[in-house]
Structure 1
Amino acid sequence: MKAVWNNEVIAESNDTIVIENNHYFPKDSVKSEFLTESATHTICPWKGVASYYTVEIDGQKNIDAAWYYPDPKPAATNITNYIAFWKGVKITE
């Protein structure tokens, strides 16, 4: 699977985990040079507190377009060190 935004592959892996129709990519498959930590946090009742990244490519920013769970609840420990995308980031095979 690939995560693509602004004609750039942000992440690529054969080992994504699909939860609620979102592909979670292993952190080491994501090009960290395109990510900047965000101050945004949200809460999922069963996964825990999500943290976000802004994706930036060629001077264009996609704010909070990636998220992850730094310390997921027990039901979601399988996505520790995984990152998911939305807000126009295309997930393709």
Structure 2
Amino acid sequence: MKAIYNGKVLAESQDTIVVENNHYFPEESLNKEYFKNSEKHTTCPWKGEASYFTLEVDGKSNPDAAWYYPAPKDAAKQIKDHVAFWKGVEVTD
């Protein structure tokens, strides 16, 4: 699987984990040069508190377009150290 934004590969892995129709990519598969920490946080009742990244690719910014659970609840422990995408990021095989 690949996550692509603005023509660049943000992440690529054969070992994504699918939860609620979202592919979660292992942290080591990220091209971290495109990721900037965000102040945004949301809470999922069964996964826990999510943190976000803003994507910066060739001068184009996509605020809060990637998220992860730094300390997921037990029900979602399999997505620890994994990142998912939305907001115009193409996830394809």
TM-score (norm 2): 0.99
Residue in structure 2 matched with residue 40 of structure 1 by the alignment: 40
Q: Structure 1: any 5+ residue segments left out of the alignment?
A: none
> Shift of residue 63 of structure 1?
0.2
Residue in structure 2 matched with residue 63 of structure 1 by the alignment: 63
Q: Deviation per CA, 1:39-89: give whole Å up to 9, x if none.
A: 000000000000000000011100000000000001001000000000000
Residue in structure 1 matched with residue 89 of structure 2 by the alignment: 89
Q: What letter is aligned with 1:17?
A: I
Give the aligned length.
Answer: 93
**d(CA) in 1 for partners of 2:32, 2:76:** 23
**d(CA) in 2 for partners of 1:28, 1:66:** 15
**d(CA) in 1 for partners of 2:86, 2:6:** 13
**d(CA) in 2 for partners of 1:57, 1:5:** 7
Residue in structure 1 matched with residue 29 of structure 2 by the alignment: 29
Q: Structure 2: any 5+ residue segments left out of the alignment?
A: none
**d(CA) in 2 for partners of 1:59, 1:7:** 12
Q: Deviation per CA, 1:4-32: give whole Å up to 9, x if none.
A: 00000000000000000000000000111
RMSD of aligned Cα (Å): 0.3
Q: Kindly report structure 1 stretches of 4+ aligned residues shifted beyond 2 Å.
A: none
